[in-house]
Chain A
Amino acid sequence: DIQMTQSPSSLSASVGDRVTITCRASQTISRYLNWYQQKPGKAPKLLIYAASSLRSGVPSRFSSSGSGTDFTLTINSLQPEDFATYYCQQAYSSPTTFGQGTRLEIK
C-alpha cells in the first residue's frame, strides 16, 4: 500500500494567516492526489482533486500544488470556517489511502 504522510499533524493559526500543509507519498503517485476538509461531527468534503484542481464552489483562498511524491495545500487569509481537519488522499493505486490528517486550530 502507498503510505501518505502529512505534516504537521496539528497547526495553530490566526484568522488572516496563511498556512501550508504538506503531504508526502511513499512512492510516486503522479498527480492523483485529492484534499478533503472535515469539520467535527461532519462528513469530509472534497476541496481539491488531481493535485491542483479546485472543486467548484470552494473558495479561491485554497490552492494546492505538487506531483510525484510531494504535495502542498495552502490556505491564504484563513477564515473562521477554515478551522478543521484536512486529509490528503492518493488515488493512484488501489487501495486508495489517506494521510493521517492535519488538525488546524485557532490560535
Chain B
Amino acid sequence: EVQLVQSGAEVKKPGESLKISCKGSGYGFTNYWIGWVRQMPGKGLEWMGIVYPGHSDISYSPSFQGQVTISADKSVSTAYLQWSSLKASDTAVYYCARAYDGKTPEFDLWGQGTLVTVSS
C-alpha cells in the first residue's frame, strides 16, 4: 500500500526540542518530494518546507526558515521535521505530504498528521 505514516502525538513543554517523522512506503521514496504543512487549531493550511530525499535538497517557506529543520534519511524512507526550542505557538497538527515536483507541488498523498501540543 502506498502510504505516509507519521509518528504519534507529542506533548512538550516550551523550550524543549522535538523531532517528528514521516515514513513512506509502497512507492519510490527517493523519487518524490516530501513537504510539511502546519494546521493550527481551527485554522487553515500553511506550507513549511519541502525536502527531496533523493539528494536532500531542501527548501523552506520564509515564514518557517530558521524556526524548524527539515531533513530526510533515504536509507529508512523517512522525512523529519524538528524544533530545537518549542513555543506554545507551535501547537498544531503537522502533516507530511508527497509531491512529484518540488517547484510546483501537487500534494497527492498525505500522512495522517501528528498533533504537537506545547504547554507548560
Contact = CB atoms under 8 A, between A and B. Distances in A.
B110 A45 contact: yes
Given A43-B113, A44-B95, A34 B44 contact: no
B32 interface: no
Interface stretch (A12-20, A65-73, A74-82, A97-105): A97-105
A44 B111 CA distance: 9
Contacts of A97: 47
Interface stretch (B12-20, B58-66, B72-80, B84-92): B58-66
Interface string B31-64: 0000001000000111100000000000101110
Interface residues of A, number: 24
Tier of interface size on chain B: 20 to 34
B10 interface: no
A94 interface: yes
Contacts of B61: 94-95
Nearest to B113: A43
Contact of A49 (B47, B95, B106): B106
A91 B104 contact: yes
A83 B92 CA distance: 23
Nearest to A90: B104
A87 interface: yes
A56 to B, nearest CB: 10
Interface of A: 1, 32, 34, 36, 38, 43-46, 49-50, 55, 87, 89, 91-92, 94-101
6 contacts: A36-B45, A43-B97, A46-B108, A55-B108, A95-B47, A96-B47
